[in-house]
Structure 1
Amino acid sequence: MATHPTVFPCIKYADARAAIDWLEKAFGFAPKLVVPGDTGTIMHAELRSGAGIVMCGSAADPEPGNPWAGAPFGIYVRVDDVDAHHARAKAAGAEIVSPPTDKPYGARDYSVRDLEGRLWSFGDYDPFAEA
């Protein structure tokens, strides 16, 4: 049983740096992790509020193999067994956007679209884990 949240909203912004600053000023979010991208963009950020985390980053043009590049919003859910979870989703008819893949930062995840086309990713990345 999880002792902390396992579901994380993910938001893409045209100006993620400005959004992070504004979310901190307006709502009290505290940046936990900010990974800069190219040309002043934000590849990935995690902002804490109490016991929760919101993930965000810079919006990007759609690109093959990266379902998050063109998605303005999605949900990331931490699961213990990525491959078993993928098999269950596939058996239920979920539209697999990206199959289970090992990521360079050590996580394994996959992405799907729900019955109305919204992006979901399921993986073993845990933003609460100590580095």
Structure 2
Amino acid sequence: MSTAGRTAHVIPAVRYRDVDAAILWLKKALGFTEHAVYRNEGGVIIHAELLLGSGMVMLGSVGENREAADWYKQPAEIGNAVTASTYLVVPDCAPVYASAKAAGAEILMELKAMDYGGGSFTVRDPEGQIWSVGEYDPWAAHTA
């Protein structure tokens, strides 16, 4: 990938009811690694940061931030729909697709070649969030 040395200035943030389980699933299914995990006095994760290559996603627990509790709805609360998803750029989709299937991901779009380049697939995680994975790197596509 051509993102070496870049600092992400846009970082998706996703809320989960069980952040511990989400972290384990995202690591196993999609290849994330832990960067930081912060817990409150009761041991509940209030903020976590996961890395994939030079990208990051932040996770938070549903309802822990009382001020923002009404700003978000979980997919299960709204017919399993989402209003945003996250796209992950990987050098090869096949092993990530195999890991996601092995982790029990609901496959929304099977692995296939895309018209704009590279392979791609889309999964729903155990709490209903949608993750697309693809070999298409928009940074590289527009710098050539």
TM-score range, shorter chain: 0.3 to 0.5
TM-score under structure 1 length normalisation: 0.47
Larger strand proportion of the pair: 1
Give the structure with higher Rg (CA). Answer: 2
TM-score under structure 2 length normalisation: 0.43
Larger helix proportion of the pair: 2
